[in-house]
Structure 1
Amino acid sequence: MEGFVRIGDRIVLYNIYGTEGGVPVISFGGSPSTRWKRPDAVAAIDAAGVRLVQADRPGYGGSTRQPGRTVASVVPDVVALADELGWEGFAVTGGSGGGPHALACAALLPDRVTRCAVTGSISPPIVDGPEPTEDEEAADPRRNRTSWKALHGDLRPGMEEAARSIMSAVEAGGPELPPDPGAAPGPPAREDSAAMARLAATFVTSHDGWEDDLIAFAKPWGFDLGDIAVPVTLWHGSADERAGKYADHLAAAIPHAERRCYVGGHIPPANAYRELLRWLTLS
């Protein structure tokens, strides 16, 4: 099911998944991302018994761009979306670049957010000083070159090259998602029109939302992680060393946050995603 909500002179497009009458969940995709979920994720949502909404952030898909937005700028959009759906209370979840947006809601909407689960989330970067070296970034991903360039350089060339590389690999017969270390690759994405539509929405249609996300991450997020009082779980894959380092910093900053490690890489497998969604339904 698709819908949209008007916020001033902007529109935000969203999709609804899962069980009618299920526990309300608002989900935030990674950077870049799309509101279109893969079939394995849809099946996990159905199995968990939740009613999940994922919107395209400003600049993605059909959602109007919002130049200069911060991470916390997502909160008024979420309030408008929840009000449109008639949801007084709801859980939030976000993967990778969606994690900070879920955490913003947990911090700034304590009377409405019930639980927050993030997967492979980044933590606030360190952007002062000269451009980090590869060794500095490997030691501490908060000192990453992407965030540094978001404030001191030009992101577009690197983003466009990354998008071209991903789509070239897909056109050569690659899967929609890179396989986890040691796992066999999935079927060729070019043979699946729905997969190609998701990839085009993420990497071809526009890079505006992606760029605005990266700039927002590099600036002050607009809230204090220490203010989060709702239950939080920090999920990451056993093969995702970078996300594990980010989780170290998030766990130190967020009171009472719990760590959860699943077997896999950056994107959780279906069984881990089901477990995360079911945790969101606990009272």
Structure 2
Amino acid sequence: MDYGVREPGRLGQIRLPDGRRLGWAEWGPVDGTPVLLCPGAATSRRLAFGGDVVDEAGVRLVSVDRPGLGASDASPGRTLASWAADIRHLVRERSLREPLAVGFSQGAPFALALAAHRSVSAVAVVSGSDELAHPRFAHALDPQVRDMVDAVAADPDASEADFAGFGSTEALWNLIITTSPEPDRAVYTDPVFRHAFLRAMDEAFSRGSAGYARDTVLAMGRWPFDPAGITVPVDLWYGQRDTSPVHSPDLGESLARIIPTATRHLLPAAGGALLWTHAETVLRTVLAHVR
């Protein structure tokens, strides 16, 4: 099948005020509606989605490497707030007028941070990680995930070192495959998709595992913003067959109640890979908020 995986039309870096470089990749027309992609865990700017629909939909899709991954320089001790500041600078440098955002899996809190800081006009969260450290999930997490969340709360620095020791393309690929349902494995093991996915992970780890480790600490901890204060439209997309232990334990149900502008879309036949199986639907829905 064609899951919309395409080579980027444009690749580059910008220089941030502190001298760091931030890597980006683009697909679609340069005069299209800007959509910022916050990729999933340990993947680089090269793994996007909807490559078969961005031109027709008039989307300028911009995928960004988070600091320490792929083409972006490290930023030790970075936060979700500093990520939002980096993106504000990217938006100015690349003339991305009133961008939208899509956050996949571990990219969800990074996309919602952009919404909380009013850096984007709307957000689509796709198979997103939720605020796993929130008390509403005290008894809902997989035991291993609960242990990680508790460890981050008790000693984030030690947890970050542990995540760095675990992080590698092979380890993450094996984790994804063993925790995915059959519909997702069919996507991930498709020869074209598998090649693109593994290449993106290799690129993400090209600077080592520290960037992945910092991302994971931020994703496993309490969010430094109140989702109830988000004022831009938020679409929460989940597949009912999603079995990932680090995505939302209730498939976005409680988060949809907390975010006043949220709409939850629960797809009965989909798994966690719906960013690629339902790319056009996700894009056209988020575009409708500004068109």
Which interval holds the TM-score relative to the shorter structure? 0.7 to 0.9
Of 128, 141, 144, which aligns to 1:137? 141
Report if aligned partners of 2:33, 2:99 keep a CA contact under 8 Å in 1.
yes
1:162, CA displacement in angstroms? 6.0
Q: Cα–Cα, structure 1 residues 72 and 246, in superposed 2: closer, same or farther, change >3 Å?
A: farther
> Which moved further from structure 2: 118-127 or 158-167?
158-167
Q: Does 1:23 align with 2:29?
A: no
> What is the CA–CA distance in structure 2 between the aligned matches of 1:233 and 1:274, rounded to whole Å?
14
Q: Cα–Cα, structure 1 residues 246 and 189, in superposed 2: closer, same or farther, change >3 Å?
A: same
Q: Does 1:267 align with 2:270?
A: no
SS in 1 for 2:274: coil
Aligned position for 1:258: 263
1:275, CA displacement in angstroms? 0.8
What letter corresponds to residue 12 of structure 1 in structure 2? L
Report if aligned partners of 1:97, 1:121 keep a CA contact under 8 Å in 2.
yes
1:41, CA displacement in angstroms? 3.7
Instruction: Give a deviation string over 1:138-183, Cα, whole Å, max 9, x none.
Output: 39x9x7333333343435455644636447869xxx99x9874256
Report if aligned partners of 2:236, 2:263 keep a CA contact under 8 Å in 1.
yes
Q: Does 1:121 align with 2:125?
A: no
Of 247, 250, 258, which aligns to 2:252? 247
SS in 2 for 1:92: strand
Of 50, 54, 71, which aligns to 1:45? 54
1:200, CA displacement in angstroms? 1.1
Aligned position for 2:3: none
> Which moved further from structure 2: 160-169 or 5-14?
160-169
Report if aligned partners of 2:14, 2:90 keep a CA contact under 8 Å in 1.
yes
What letter corresponds to residue 260 of structure 1 in structure 2? H
Aligned position for 1:281: 287
Aligned position for 1:6: 15
Q: Cα–Cα, structure 1 residues 30 and 51, in superposed 2: closer, same or farther, change >3 Å?
A: same
Gaps of 5+ in 2: 1-9
SS in 1 for 2:26: strand
Report if aligned partners of 1:243, 1:266 keep a CA contact under 8 Å in 2.
no
Aligned position for 2:4: none
Aligned position for 1:99: 108
Aligned position for 2:209: 207
Aligned position for 2:6: none
1:88, CA displacement in angstroms? 2.9
Report if aligned partners of 2:115, 2:232 keep a CA contact under 8 Å in 1.
yes
SS in 2 for 1:114: coil
Structure 1 segment 105-254 matched on structure 2, within 5 A: 105-109=114-118, 113-126=120-133, 137-138=141-142, 144-151=146-153, 152=155, 153-157=158-162, 160-161=165-166, 163=168, 165-166=170-171, 180-181=181-182, 184=186, 186-188=189-191, 192=195, 196-203=198-205, 205-241=207-243, 242-243=247-248, 245-254=250-259
Aligned-residue CA RMSD (Å): 3.3
Q: Cα–Cα, structure 1 residues 259 and 163, in superposed 2: closer, same or farther, change >3 Å?
A: same
> What is the CA–CA distance in structure 2 between the aligned matches of 1:207 and 1:36, rounded to whole Å?
18
Report if aligned partners of 2:240, 2:251 keep a CA contact under 8 Å in 1.
no
Count residues in correspondence.
268
What letter corresponds to residue 4 of structure 1 in structure 2? Q
Q: Cα–Cα, structure 1 residues 186 and 124, in superposed 2: closer, same or farther, change >3 Å?
A: closer
> What is the CA–CA distance in structure 2 between the aligned matches of 1:78 and 1:209, rounded to whole Å?
17
1:58, CA displacement in angstroms? 0.6
Q: Does 1:83 align with 2:92?
A: yes
> What is the CA–CA distance in structure 2 between the aligned matches of 1:27 and 1:168, rounded to whole Å?
21
1:48, CA displacement in angstroms? 3.1
